[in-house]
Structure 1
Amino acid sequence: MRLSLGRDGRLPPSVTMGTVDVAFHLAARGRPLPVVFAFAFDGAAPTLDSLRARVAERAHGIPALHYRIARERRRFRRVDRIAADRHVHEAWLPEDTDGSATGRLMLSRPMNADGRPPWDVWLVHGPAGRHTLCYRTDHAFQDGVGAAYTARALLGDDPEGGPVPQPRRLPTAAGLAGTLGDLAGAF
């Protein structure tokens, strides 16, 4: 989903699904097809309230999270308010030593069907001293790359971070010679 602000400085009220979005929508016969990012941690888990506060603080700045799927029309429709308490959940899986139970929970638990944007965040308490944070969405709504950026923006300690830009360097004589050799060899 590519979004740009309208003339009034707001997100558009609706956005047409792209070809790939429609393909996933049709392949899943209109049912959600989950994309999940799970991050396992050792140590004390955050509280559900603190996680909800983080998501509430950050969600407003992520345009995609403000849309729901109008499945019958193959469009995304904007919602003006995001209720973090309805998008952030908690579960206890104390026997989940390898994360497989968390994966099953994320893939089997129904996604919302009440007209909210199709994403949620889960705090899953595992064996003593371990927890997992999960971001889950519908593949017709976000692809894997979009979901990865959203998960980082919602849950990361440095949501704006990323690889440090490398300084621009001038080409070296050896690099130019190698490139010219490759070009000559191509002919």
Structure 2
Amino acid sequence: MTRAAVPAVPYPALDETIRGMEESAHYLHIGAVMEMEGAPPRIDAVLDHVQRRLPLLPPLVGCRDHLASHVRELAVPGCGSGDWARAYDALVNSPAPACAQRPWAVWLVPGEGGDGYLLCYRSHHALHDGVSQMRLMRLLFARTEPTAPPSAPERHKETPALGVRVSGRLRTAAASTRLLVRAPRLPLLPGVPDNRRVLTSAVVPVTRLRAAARSLECSVLDVHIAALSRVAEEADPTGWTAEGRRTRGIVLPVSLDAGGVTPYAGNRFALALVDLPWEQRDLGERARTLAGRTKWLRDPGARWAMGKAMGRLGVAEVGALSGRVFARAGMQTTVLGFTADIGFAGHRARRFINLNCLPAPFPYQPALTLWRDEAVCSITADTALPAAEKLADLWLRAIDVLAPPVPSPTT
């Protein structure tokens, strides 16, 4: 098997900023979990599997000599295919290997009595971003053994036409002007964070979200953000939803990658602040309004302008920009679509869930995963947040308003 080439990192200042955000580096992790049915494999089988796939994974190729320290078994009492809640809480709190350059791990979590198992991949965010992670998961856990590494060369973004570049610069400049005046910074938890995380999740059919997006003339992202805005109103004790002296929005990562199939080392994204229309009480109207506020993020000219700007910034400038964005928001979220046929030892995964363990300045972090026919909203929260264990249920209640479940036909 030929080793895949390691792509260049175009935004090293972004990686350094993320690496320096927290001394312990533990919670600055992203990852994903597969829920599997059947008897758990032996940890040696998982290690052999990762070793075979390692040449396909550029962010991890330097770890062959100490691979055993990155593949671990985690025993969590009281877990099985019917209830993995304790296992998820353990996974978002388990330290990764103390490796300065490549802190990542694969965990095997066996269910009690051989009742199913979890396979979790988690890494420090400075190692790669969410887009690269999804490509990595596709290769690491593809159900069929890859016969060769991705042969397509890494793509490079083409320079847009002059009119597109001008339009993109104007859009990004307009979005940036509100960041020129520093916003007041409020504590985002009423007390000291516990620095312990709990994860909750809710599952709905993807078709429900897509049907709601069609009827509201918006995107699935807009439906998701509208639901999160209701979560914030009901569960956030920090006051950011009502504080009138600053823009009150939500942070979205915007991918700057040109596209492709190969996982890459480093981060390729910019942060966008989207204002939330709190004055609109109807969630459907919020989603429609959000459609107009997120549309520009799909503009290739705007993405090109963001990439050019990020490439010119140093570590201090990236940190200052991030701080100004976060000072005007109360949460950050992302939506990741995934169609790969993944599993282990030929068996297909039953469920696929993303983990977002970022602390940033926020008390909780939601991520929406669209995989096969399921949409899973997983929310990692600091346990100091009073509603930490209710967040996913609140999101689901909001989705029931935006996308009512279709009654089953009666016989």
Question: TM-score band, normalised by the shorter chain?
Answer: 0.5 to 0.7
Task: Tell me which of 89, 99, 118 is aligned to 2:84.
Answer: 99
Please identify, of 27-36 and 125-134, the stretch whose mean Cα deviation from structure 2 is larger: 27-36
Per-residue CA deviations over 1:50-107 (Å, capped at 9, x if unaligned) read 11101011112211113xxxxxxxxxxxx37443311111122241253222222222
1:87 corresponding residue in structure 2: 70
Residue 20 of structure 2: SS of its match in structure 1?
helix
Counterpart amino acid of residue 75 in structure 2: W
Counterpart amino acid of residue 137 in structure 2: A
Per-residue CA deviations over 1:101-141 (Å, capped at 9, x if unaligned) read 22222221222224462111011012342100000100111
Task: Tell me which of 37, 53, 57 is aligned to 1:58.
Answer: 53
Within 2, Cα distance between the matches of 1:148 and 1:159? 17
Within 1, Cα distance between the matches of 2:117 and 2:91? 14
- Tell me the CA shift for residue 37 of structure 1: 0.6
Residue 56 of structure 2: SS of its match in structure 1?
coil
Is contact 1:38–1:132 with CA below 8 Å preserved after alignment?
yes
1:48 pairs with 2:31: no
Within 2, Cα distance between the matches of 1:43 and 1:30? 36
Residue 92 of structure 1: SS of its match in structure 2?
coil
Counterpart amino acid of residue 141 in structure 1: L
1:36 pairs with 2:31: yes
TM score, norm. by length of structure 2: 0.31
1:21 corresponding residue in structure 2: 15
1:157 corresponding residue in structure 2: 143
How many pairs are equivalent? 140
2:118 corresponding residue in structure 1: 132
Is contact 1:56–1:83 with CA below 8 Å preserved after alignment?
no
1:143 pairs with 2:126: no
Counterpart amino acid of residue 74 in structure 2: A
Task: Tell me which of 95, 104, 112 is aligned to 1:119.
Answer: 104
Taking only the aligned residue pairs, the percentage that are identical comes to 27
Residue 140 of structure 1: SS of its match in structure 2?
coil
Task: Tell me which of 72, 83, 95 is aligned to 1:110.
Answer: 95
TM score, norm. by length of structure 1: 0.63
1:182 corresponding residue in structure 2: none
Is contact 1:38–1:134 with CA below 8 Å preserved after alignment?
yes
Residue 84 of structure 1: SS of its match in structure 2?
helix
Is contact 1:87–1:120 with CA below 8 Å preserved after alignment?
yes
Within 2, Cα distance between the matches of 1:150 and 1:57? 14
- Any unmatched runs of 5+ in structure 1? 6-10, 67-78, 161-187
Is contact 1:40–1:133 with CA below 8 Å preserved after alignment?
yes
Counterpart amino acid of residue 127 in structure 1: E
Within 1, Cα distance between the matches of 2:69 and 2:12? 27
Counterpart amino acid of residue 87 in structure 1: H
Residue 85 of structure 1: SS of its match in structure 2?
helix
Is contact 2:30–2:122 with CA below 8 Å preserved after alignment?
yes
Q: Structure 1 residues 147 and 159 mapped into 2: Cα distance closer, same or farther (>3 Å)? A: farther
Residue 14 of structure 2: SS of its match in structure 1?
helix
Residue 98 of structure 2: SS of its match in structure 1?
coil
Counterpart amino acid of residue 71 in structure 2: V
Is contact 1:152–1:159 with CA below 8 Å preserved after alignment?
no
Counterpart amino acid of residue 92 in structure 2: L
Residue 18 of structure 2: SS of its match in structure 1?
helix
Counterpart amino acid of residue 22 in structure 1: E
Within 2, Cα distance between the matches of 1:22 and 1:115? 12
- Any unmatched runs of 5+ in structure 2? 147-411
- Tell me the CA shift for residue 143 of structure 1: 1.1
2:155 corresponding residue in structure 1: none
Q: Structure 1 residues 80 and 93 mapped into 2: Cα distance closer, same or farther (>3 Å)? A: closer
Residue 123 of structure 1: SS of its match in structure 2?
strand
Q: Structure 1 residues 102 and 18 mapped into 2: Cα distance closer, same or farther (>3 Å)? A: farther
Within 1, Cα distance between the matches of 2:145 and 2:131? 15
